[in-house]
Amino acid sequence: MPELPEVETMVRDLAPRVVGRTIVNLDAYFTGSVVWPSYTEFRDRAVQQTIQAISRRGKYAIFELGSGDALIIHRGMTGSLLLRHPQEPAESHVRLAFVLDDGMELRFNDPRKFGKVYVMDGTGGERPLPWARMGPEPLNGAFTVEGLKLALSSRTALIKPLLLNQEVVAGLGNIYVDEALFAAQIHPQRRAHTLSDEEIGRVYQAIRAVLAAAIEGRGTTFSSYTDIEGRAGSHQSALQVFQRTGAPCPRCGVPIMRLVVGGRGTHVCPHCQKVE
DNA sequence: ACAATATCCTGCGAGC
DNA sequence: TGCTCGCAGGATATTG
């Protein structure tokens, strides 16, 4: 599950390798990964373009092209970008392969086909950018404790699904929401408007700390996430609750429990995180 | 407007 | 051993 730290790691790794390179060809094995525009127009607008810069917004990776277009990639659940020599055997689920002018290939490998790729005018004039309604970036000044209070105080929904909502805050997914709520000692089934200012302050700090630590560890590897060379991240060993059902809580020793919240597998310490 | 739930897709693990 | 079945989940569509 590539969330903000995994996309950030990818963007940082890619920048020195692909900025300045020109896309000289594109091979498609599943054109359905391209959601905008049509595949043929996508190809026309991507090929022969030079990558001027690469950045991230939420879980989207953004390649700025010389034309002013943006090549935008969302990895979904199982998507990865791999920088490979064309001679290296193809991974089992390569959907698109961008051939670069230095002879390398940027492969979009995506077993479950949840990933999405776009080319569009980078200013949003052509159609709204995928992050047009997205909430603040949690690791820069756009994200404030006051803003989070404003976003949560009037909402009756459960805190976990709200934090997964990209319009509230950008970049969180299932792993880091569970980790942040554990760090803040807030139960994922609390109703958002019942959180005190002090509790929202803890959630705010926890989101930032958990994401920063995960970037430091180059992301979390479960099953499918790897970096652009296919190597695992290291942060999974630092996780406190996610996928640790039955293991002792690092804070109190009570076994971690798994429950389902908003249809998503959820991990809590039943002692440190109380619903009421 | 908001909240809750269904949907997409395929590898994998559980169970028989 | 080999088969079937259900689960996993980000974002969006649909329903309430």
Chain C nucleotides reached by a protein CB under 7 Å: 7-12
CA of A173 to C1' of C13 (A): 20
**Which residue in A183, A144, A185, A180 sits closest to A162, CA to CA?**
A180
The sheet carrying A94-100 orders its strands as A23-28, A94-100, A105-109, A80-84
Interatomic distance A26 CA / B2 C1' (Å): 43
- Residue A27 is predicted with a pLDDT of 95
Is A3 among the catalytic positions?
yes
Rounded CA-CA distance A70/A85 in Å is 24
- Cis peptide bond N-terminal to A255, omega within 30: no
CA of A141 to C1' of B1 (A): 28
Nucleotide nearest to A113 (CA to C1'): B9
Give the pLDDT of residue A224. Answer: 59
| A104 exposure class (CB count in 10 Å sphere: 0-12, 13-18, 19+) | middle
pLDDT value of position A180: 96
Contact A46/A38 with Cβ under 8 angstroms? no
CA-to-CA dists, residue A261 to A27, A162, A169, A178, angstroms: 40, 11, 18, 11
pLDDT at A103: 96
- Single-letter amino acid code for the residue at A244: R
A114 CA vs B8 C1’ separation (Å) = 8
Nucleotide minimizing C1' to CA distance for residue A131: C11
Show pLDDT as tens, one digit a residue, over chain A (276 residues).
799 999 999 999 999 999 999 999 999 999 999 999 999 999 999 999 999 999 999 999 999 999 999 999 999 988 999 999 999 999 989 999 999 999 999 999 999 899 999 999 999 999 999 999 999 999 999 999 999 999 999 999 999 999 999 999 999 999 999 999 999 999 999 999 999 999 999 999 999 999 999 999 988 876 656 778 778 788 777 889 888 888 999 999 999 999 999 999 999 999 999 987
Residue A229 has a pLDDT of 79
Tell me the residue length of chain A: 276
CB A73 within 8 A of CB A117: yes
Looking up tokens 């127009």 gives A41
A115 touches strand C (CB under 7 A): no
* Burial zone of A77 (CB within 10 Å; 0-12 exposed, 13-18 middle, 19+ buried): middle
Nucleic strand C within 7 A of Cβ A222: no
The total of other beta-carbon atoms located within 10 Å of residue A66's CB is 11
Q: Residue A75 catalytic?
A: no
Check residue A110 and give its pLDDT: 93
Contact A111, A80 (CB under 8 A): no
User: In this predicted structure, what is the pLDDT of residue A227?
Assistant: 76
pLDDT of residue A225: 64
Residue owning tokens 């920048």: A15
Strands A105-109 and A264-268: unpaired
What are the residues with a C-beta under 7 Å from any atom of nucleic chain B?
A 92-93, 111-114, 154-158, 161-162, 192, 223, 262-263
Nearest-5° Cα angle at A106, A100 to A109: 155
Residue nearest to nucleotide B3 (CA to C1'): A157
Look up A264 and say whether it is catalytic. yes
Give the pLDDT confidence score for residue A237 in this predicted structure.
75
Q: Is the CB of A112 under 7 A from strand C?
A: yes
**What's the pLDDT score for residue A232?**
78
Q: In this structure, is the CB of residue A3 within 7 Å of any atom belonging to strand C?
A: yes
